[in-house]
Amino acid sequence: MSELAPAIEVSRLVKSYGGVVAVSDISFTVQRGEIVGFLGPNGAGKSTTMRILTGYLPATSGSVTICGIPVATHPNEIKRQIGYMPENNPLPEDMRVSEYLYFRGRLKEIPRRKLGPRIDEVLEVCDLKRVRHKIIGQLSKGYRQRVGIAEAILAEPPVIIMDEPTIGLDPHQILIVRDLISSLRGRMTVIISSHILPEIEMTCDRVLIINQGRVVAQGTPAELRQEIFGHSTYELELAGDLAALSPVLFSVEPTLQITEQAGPHADGFQRITLTTAREDELGDTLLPALLSAGYRVRGLTRAHPTLEDVFLAATRRSWDAVVPADRLAHLDSKPDPSGTVAR
Amino acid sequence: MKHILTLLSHEIRMLLVSPATYVAATLFLAFMGLIFTKILEIYSSAPQELSPAAVYFQLFWLPACVMVPLLTMKCLAEERRLGTIETLLTTPVTTTEVVLAKFGAAYFLYVALWLSTSGFFVILRTFSGEAWFLDAGPLLGGFLFIAVSGLLFVALGVFASSVTSNQSVAGIFSCVLLATLILGGNAVSDSAWLAEGALRPAKAAIEYAHVFSHRDDFARGVIDTRHVLFYFSGTVLALIFSILSVEAKLLHA
pLDDT at A334 over 50: no
Cβ B87–A86 below 8 Å, yes or no?
yes
Distant-in-sequence, close-in-space partners of A153: CB < 8 Å, separation ≥ 6: A83, A122, A125, A160, A184, A188
Cβ B89–A56 below 8 Å, yes or no?
yes
Contacts with B94 from chain A: Cβ below 8 Å:
76
Which of these ranges, A92-106, A226-240, B112-126, has the smallest mean pLDDT? A226-240
Which of A90, A94, A95 lies closest to B83 in CB terms?
A: A90
Could you read off the pLDDT of B62-71 as tens digits, one per residue? 888 888 998 8
Contacts with A95 from chain B: Cβ below 8 Å:
14
Contacts with B90 from chain A: Cβ below 8 Å:
54-56, 79, 82, 84, 86
Q: Which residue has the higher pLDDT, B161 or B43?
A: B161
The pTM for the full model equals: 0.82
pLDDT for res B182: 87
Of A108, A95, A91, nearest to A160 (Cα)? A108
Q: Which residues pair with A66 in a beta bridge?
A: A8, A69
pLDDT at A160 over 50: yes
Enumerate helices (H) and strands (E) in chain B, giving the number of each: 14, 0
Are A298 and A242 within 8 A, CB to CB? no
Cβ A107–B3 below 8 Å, yes or no?
yes
Cβ B91–A56 below 8 Å, yes or no?
no
Could you read off the pLDDT of A179-200 as tens digits, one per residue? 888 888 888 899 998 877 777 8
pLDDT for res A320: 60
Cβ B14–A94 below 8 Å, yes or no?
yes
- Kindly list the strands in the beta sheet with A270-276, ordered across the sheet, starting from the edge strand earlier in the chain: A257-262, A270-276, A232-239, A296-303
Distance from CA of B147 to the nearest CA of A (A): 29
Distance from CA of A109 to the nearest CA of B (A): 8
Q: Which residue has the higher pLDDT, B239 or A168?
A: B239
d(Cα B216, Cα B237) in Å, to the nearest integer?
A: 25
Q: Does domain A8-219 have CATH number 3.30.300.30?
A: no
The H or E element that residue A126 is part of is none
Cβ A51–B10 below 8 Å, yes or no?
no
pLDDT for res A330: 45
pLDDT at A224 over 80: no
pLDDT for res B213: 82
Among 3.30.70.1290, 3.30.43.10, 3.30.70.260, 3.30.70.270, what is the CATH number of A229-303? 3.30.70.260
Could you read off the pLDDT of A87-102 as tens digits, one per residue? 888 999 889 999 999 9
Q: Name the band, by pLDDT with cuts 50, 70 and 90, for residue B171.
A: very high
> Strand, coil or helix: what is A215?
strand
Cα dihedral value B161, B167, B169, B175, nearest 10: 60
Cβ A57–B253 below 8 Å, yes or no?
yes
Contacts with B7 from chain A: Cβ below 8 Å:
107
Percent of chain A with pLDDT over 90: 26
- Chain A and chain B share a number of CB contacts under 8 A equal to 61
